[in-house]
Every structure is written in structure tokens, then in C-alpha cells.
Amino acid sequence: MKVVNVGLIGLGTVGTGTLRILQRNAQEITGRTGRDIRVTRVAVSDINKPRDANLEGITLSTDPLDIAHDPEIDIVVEMVGGDSVAKDAVLAAIQHGKHIVTANKALIATHGNEIFTAAEKQQVSVAFEAAVAGGIPVIKAIREGLAANRIEWLAGIINGTCNYILTRMEQDGLDFSNVLADAQALGYAEADPEFDIEGIDAAHKLTILASIAFGIPLQFEKLHVEGITSITIEDIRFAAELGFRIKHLGIARRSESGIELRVHPAMVPADRLIASVNGVMNATLVQSDAVGPTLYYGAGAGAEPTGSAVVADIVDVVRTLDADSGSRVPHLAFGTGTMPEQTIVPMGQIETAYYLRMKVINRPGVLAAITRIFGDSDISIATILQKGHGDNNSEVTIIMLTQQARESNLEQAVAHVRELDSVTSDIQSIRLENLA
């Protein structure tokens, strides 16, 4: 029985979890693959740094290319993150005929098309289940389990940091900055949290999910991306009063105009299963024509949850080492010749309902003027609430829910409402997603 040699690039949180699982569950993994899998080399930034892992018999180096060039290595597992060093190491390993496993969503989202083309030329595999939703096998589910289906849309809570912050704001009544500081202290958010709270991390993941779901090239640069920094306690409380919860969603949807790709906060009906996903947990809801809705839920990050997905990819690659490359599942579910460019719908053409919040002077004619502006922009109002019952000329808060409307029309109406001298605040808008 030929031993399969594995080289790890990176031994941080995920790398350590991966190594632990490979060592602890070696007997089960061998039983599933019929081959012994051994980590023989690891590239790290600091060889002398203490590691919470058994490194006996493993050669350490500081140069990822040492692993890429090693003729004894069969599979290179990349877990350093980013898209510079990782890209160079992965492409070098592919050129040397090595199979790739990666947990790097930024690498796949921004350079995946190039990497997969190189891999097909060299007839090697690139596996990346751990790049999206940690330990949840959502990529395998969409690519293989739903292969008989035409996927209509998917919506995911795919960033645990954002979900943790919104959950704590709702449950504990804390404002954004306080919860963010707590998330950083607990290790749920980085010292520089921009990639998480501004939606970039979720956008990388949605890019990958959409490509697999719809058979389109990876197109990260075309996503609409918003974070959660504008969400307030006030919005969360009003959402609850109206029967909604605010979640940070990645949404990909087929429409008559093309494919929608968007990441942003959204109000979701509180009775939807995905609305009950709290804390750092992730979930992805997929709507397909044959099976209907399916929900994939679990830990979206962490050493062993993500390491579990990495090891599952290693197992899949080992199982196909001796298979003809043409019999392997395509990297992005569809053969490269069947992935034509499709129109990515501009955000202005998206249609959804909206929640709006503004402060106005309480005097006759104000609501009439506001609703007239929305009516002139072809937007129907479903609900209006006034918070505060002060005397005439005092300031009150107005909450509005619209019917389905085009985003460009909403933006036009909001711009005109802002010009009214009776409106005394900026206007908060949050999209409503029914997900039915």
C-alpha cells in the first residue's frame, strides 16, 4: 500500500487542527481511503515558535516553495491565507504535478479561474471545501448532492463574526462598537476586522458558491458588497417589533436579467429557519427546482471544524489519485466548456422590499409629502409607523416598509426625501428578504 505524502503550508489555527485530525483519526482515514496518509513537511513563518501539535518526523521549513518542489510530496495543503504567497506556492505546486487542497477563500475567489485552468492542464485536482463555511460541506452538497437540480437561488449567513455581532446586539442590547470589541477579545474578530465587518470575507465565499451553483466563472469584482457597520440597536429593535431579524447575508439568485450577486444586511422574517442561526454559526439556504429548499448549518470557523473540511478534501483527492482526470468531479461543478459568461445584474436593477427609518418634524403634511415622493418613483408603501407623539414641530421617528421595488427607484426617492426640510436625519434603508 503506497503511502501518500502530504505537505502543509501554514500551521496556524486551521493548519494545526488539520494536523491533529490526520494524526488522531489516522486509522479511520486509512480505512476510508485504503492508503496511509502522512504529513512529511510543513512550511511555517517561524520554525522556533511553539506549536500545539505533534511534529515528530516532520521536516519544517520557512519557504512554501520547498514543499511545492519536493518530488516526494503528493498533495500540498495551503492554509496561509491571502492571495500573494499562497498563489505563487499553489501555482508552483501545480506545475510540479501536485494535487492541491486549500482553505483559502480569497485565493479561490480572486485567482480561482487561473488556478483551475492550470490544474486542468496538469491533470491535478484542486479541492477547496474548507474555503466556505468551515466544517459545513456546502460545496460538496451543491456540486454533487444537488447535481440533478437547477438551483434558483441561495442565501447564506457565511461570516461568523458578523453573525456574532448582530446576535449580541439583539440579545444583549449592546451597540456595534461594544460588541465588536468583545468579539476581538474572544478571538471571533481580528485586530483589523475590516474583511469581516465590511463584508469582504462573505463576498469571497459567495463568489465561490455562486460559481458552483450557476455554472458561471468566478467574478468577485462584480459583487455588490456592504457590511454591518451602519446597523444600529434602534434598527434591530424595530425589526423585532415588525416580525423580522437582521442578518448579514450573501445572496445569489437567477433572474430574467441575469445573476444577482450581493452581500449586505437584510431583514428576514423571524419564522424562517435561517433567522434562528445565532452567534458564530453559519448556514446556507439553497432553493432548487427538484428538491426544493435545503439548509446547511454548522460551525463556520475554528481549528477542527475547518480542519475537518480540509481532511475531507484530502480524503477525496486520495480516493481519485489513480483515476483518469476526466472522471473527476469538475472543480466548479460544470465543465469549463459549459461555463459561458452570464450577465451579473447591476444593483440598481435588483428588486426587493425595503425598511426605511428617518427622523422628521411632526407637523401636518410631512407624511403626505414623503409618500407622494415614493409614489412618484413607483414605490408602494406597505407599512408606516410613527415613534414618538410629541407636540407639533417636535422630532419623531418614522418607520416605513415598502412593497417590492427596484433599487434605482428607491435610491431616487430617498434622495428626494432627504431634500425635504422636514427630514432631520439621514435615512436608513435595509433590504427585506422573504426567502420563501
Instruction: Write out the catalytic residue numbers.
Output: 205
Q: Cα–Cα distance between 59 and 77 in angstroms, integer?
A: 15
Retrieve residue 138's grid coordinates: 456546502
- Other beta carbons within 10 Å of 191: 5
Q: Which residues contact 64 (CB under 8 A, 6 or more apart)?
A: 9, 43, 78, 80, 85, 88, 89
Q: Cα–Cα distance between 273 and 277 in angstroms, integer?
A: 7
Q: Cα–Cα distance between 344 and 357 in angstroms, integer?
A: 29
Cα 109 to its chain centre, rounded Å, is 11
CA proximity to 159, closest of 139, 129, 189: 189
Give the torsion through C-alpha atoms of 69, 73, 77, 80, to 10 deg. -40
How far is it between the farthest Cα atoms of the chain?
A: 85
CA proximity to 158, closest of 130, 187, 180: 130
End-to-end CA distance of the chain: 51
3 state DSSP class of 355: strand
Give every strand in the sheet of 99-102, ordered side by side.
Answer: 59-61, 37-43, 4-9, 75-78, 99-102, 126-127
Q: Which residues contact 41 (CB under 8 A, 6 or more apart)?
A: 5, 7, 8, 58, 59, 60, 61, 66, 67, 70, 73
CA proximity to 89, closest of 103, 77, 72: 77
158 neighbors 134 (Cβ within 8 angstroms): no
270 neighbors 244 (Cβ within 8 angstroms): yes
Q: Is 427 exposed, middle or buried (0-12, 13-18, 19+ CB in 10 A)?
A: middle
Q: Cα–Cα distance between 384 and 390 in angstroms, integer?
A: 17
